[in-house]
Structure 1
Amino acid sequence: MIQDFEGMQKASKESVDLAMKSFGSMSQGLQAIAVEAADYSKKSFETGSAALEKILSSSSVEKAVEAQSEYVKTAYEGYVGQMSKFGAMMTEMTRDAYKPFEGLFGKFPS
């Protein structure tokens, strides 16, 4: 009976340790994503402000439309690129969070 209790206690401790490693990896990944999102927001705001300034200071309607079109194109391309980067970061975070459990799932017969 005591051996079973000790085995359960050891298994519980291992499970908690694995969960803590997984949560640590997930926390680091979420922090990296938050920093990246803040950087992107700042850059996007600065780019938008510069574009607005360029549009408002245009000498003609054609120049204003041209500046706006240029901004929309670069903003869209930047957005798509950033979303791809966020997707890659999420994938990496998920892999890192799963790594501690790889050995645990390998122990059980399928």
Structure 2
Amino acid sequence: MSNANRNNSNQNSTQQEPDKERVDVATASSTTFPAGFQALATAYGDYTKKSFEDTRSFVEKLSGVKSFEKAIEIQTEYAKTAYETFVTESQKIGALYGDLAKQSYKPFGGFGAGTNSTNR
């Protein structure tokens, strides 16, 4: 084998090692990726359940009111609670989306590091 062929062969084998590492990282990431979706689905489900229960409780309280002032008080309390719950759950879901984005881009972090600029 000529020196040029040996050098080319060595370059191919050294290039395959980082490629294998990237595939291994991507495979590992793909197994944790569905867990992120599961966490999001659970968070949405929990928020929906809490929102439904709060609304049901509000309607029950409102149906037993005897005065206009008490109805306004209950409605104000419900609006405040619903807003606080929305903000809290939105922040939690936003953080889960951020974590999912980080997990999904993690395998691509090393792609630019292994390339050399001599291949023009």
Who is 1:53 aligned against? 60
Report what 2:97 is aligned to. 90
Deviations 1:55-95 (A, max 9, x none): 11112111011101110111011101111111111111111
Matches of 2:15 and 2:113, distance apart in 1: 19
**Given the two structures, how large is their TM-score scaled by the length of structure 2?**
0.72
Which segment is superposed worse, 88-97 or 13-22? 13-22
Aligned equivalents of 2:82, 2:71: Cα separation in 1: 16
| Structure 2 gaps, min length 5 | none
Give the percent of matched residue pairs that are identical in Structure 1 and Structure 2.
39
Q: Which amino acid in structure 2 is aligned with residue 92 of structure 1?
A: D
Cα distance in structure 2, aligned partners of 1:109 and 1:70: 63
CA RMSD of aligned residues (A): 2.7
- Distance of 1:71 and 1:63 partners within structure 2: 12
* Cα displacement (A) at 1:13: 5.4
Give me the TM-score of the superposition, normalised by structure 1. 0.78
